[in-house]
Amino acid sequence: MNETQIIRAQLETERRHFGAVTAACEALLQGAELAAHADFSNACRDYLQFALRRVSAQGTRAADSGLAALRSAPPDRVNTVWRDVLSDFKAACRERFDEIAARAKRQLPVAEWRALSGITADAIVEERSRYDRVRAALPAGVMLAPPDDASAGRSGS
């Protein structure tokens, strides 16, 4: 596998993981208070903070404001704030992965793939570590299954 293939494979892994974590949070929000599952909630919050920072500078601002709101939300608003954070995250992912898909139609040199992706060995290790933490904290009955393409941040590309 050459470097461009490694970068593209990692981007696809991130897209799937971002979508799976989002779908797991949304599934739990359907019938429970996410805050009632503290280990899972904390693991998801940490994962989403990392992921939002990966997708864009706008994602960094959204991560800072949305995740701060999660920490300070009164108990009766926690699920609403979670839904807002997840909605912002999905929008940032769609924008990011649509941009990547549009650029991928051209033959980019590896230096452009590096710049576009922000993929480094450290980023790969951190993403996997945070994803494994989410997986280890899954409440009973919740799965990290790949969601459909739309919820994973891909809008039909």
Residue 149 has pLDDT above 50, yes or no: no
Residue 64 has pLDDT above 80, yes or no: no
Maximal C-alpha separation, the chain: 50
Give the pLDDT score at 62: 65
- Domain segments of the chain as ranges: 3-136
Contact 142, 27 (CB under 8 A): yes
pLDDT digits (tens, 9 = 90+) for 15-63: 999 999 999 999 888 877 777 888 999 999 999 988 888 887 665 676 6
pTM: 0.85
Give the C-alpha separation, 114 to 90, whole Å: 23
Q: Residue 10 class from Cβ within 10 Å (0-12 exposed, 13-18 middle, 19+ buried)?
A: middle
Residue 151 has pLDDT above 60, yes or no: no
